[in-house]
A and B are shown apart, each in its own frame.
Chain A
Amino acid sequence: GEDVEQSLFLSVREGDSSVINCTYTDSSSTYLYWYKQEPGAGLQLLTYIFSNMDMKQDQRLTVLLNKKDKHLSLRIADTQTGDSAIYFCAENPTGTASKLTFGTGTRLQVTL
């Protein structure tokens, strides 16, 4: 089955850049997503990338996709305390349009 892996924890200082990494196993995924979960809340879609793209930038967020290595990353520039949350990557493997497979989540802690 599909497997999406992330490191569990990342700590950065306010103002620095954060890079959250994700590896996935299904190379047929057409979309890859990043979701953010704040304490006590559900997940919210941050951004997504088509599998035929290498990079997508959206304000402070940069998504990089390396299809050869099945590696996805999310870079947050000028990290703020409000960015403290759990970040999930997710893939939508071909043939499973109704299902998203989520990673284990990376808890981002932003320190002053």
Chain B
Amino acid sequence: NAGVTQTPKFQVLKTGQSMTLQCAQDMNHEYMSWYRQDPGMGLRLIHYSVGAGITDQGEVPNGYNVSRSTTEDFPLRLLSAAPSQTSVYFCASRLGLTNEKLFFGSGTQLSVL
């Protein structure tokens, strides 16, 4: 199984550019989420989804949009990138809505100049 796949692994953007970070899982997981990881701040939840067609905001949603049109995919969109969005982004999924473990992708390192 591929698990959770994120693309791209690295990306450099200019301020104001837009882009989409892709996340796909092949485990039929209901729950998917996006985190950002910054030095000294751990992981912070951006957006999450509890099933196709359902999304909700996490701790730091501003500047990001998500959609969940299929169970497998959960893309994260930056409409107008800012330097404050320079970070490492992780997608994570789990089977249900309770307390099973999260499966993480390998991350996308994003730099906004």
Stretch at the interface among B40-48, B68-76, B77-85: B40-48
Contact B41 A104 (CB under 8 A): yes
> Which B residues are CB-close (under 8 A) to A105?
42
B4 CB to nearest chain A CB (Å): 7
- For residue B58, CB closer than 8 A to chain A, the reply is yes
Contact A103 B42 (CB under 8 A): yes
Name the interface size band of chain B.
Answer: 20 to 34
B40 closest partner in A (C-beta): A104
Knowing A42-B105, A43-B90, A43-B102 touch, does A102 contact B97 (C-beta < 8 A)? no
Of A31, A42, A48, the most chain B CB neighbours within 10 A belong to A42
- For residue B21, CB closer than 8 A to chain A, the reply is no
Contact A97 B97 (CB under 8 A): yes
> Which A residues are CB-close (under 8 A) to B97?
97-98
A30 CB to nearest chain B CB (Å): 7
> Which A residues are CB-close (under 8 A) to B34?
none
A99 in complex: contacting residue of B40, B41, B58, CB < 8 Å? B58
Knowing A40-B106, A98-B50 touch, does A45 contact B101 (C-beta < 8 A)? yes
Knowing A41-B107, A42-B4, A104-B40 touch, does A99 contact B102 (C-beta < 8 A)? no
Contact B99 A42 (CB under 8 A): no
B99 CB to nearest chain A CB (Å): 5
In the bound complex, CA of A100 to CA of B33 (Å): 10
Identify the 7 closest CB pairs spanning chains A and B, nearest first.
A42-B104, A45-B101, A102-B43, A104-B42, A102-B42, A43-B104, A31-B99
Q: Which residues of A contact B (CB under 8 A)?
A: 4, 8, 30-31, 33, 40-45, 48, 88, 92, 97-100, 102-105
Q: Which residues of B contact A (CB under 8 A)?
A: 4, 31, 33, 35, 40-45, 48, 50, 56, 58, 90, 92, 97-99, 101-102, 104-107
A-B contact pairs, 18 of them (CB 8 A): A4-B42, A8-B40, A31-B99, A40-B107, A42-B90, A42-B107, A43-B43, A43-B90, A43-B92, A43-B104, A44-B104, A98-B33, A98-B50, A98-B97, A99-B45, A102-B42, A104-B41, A104-B42
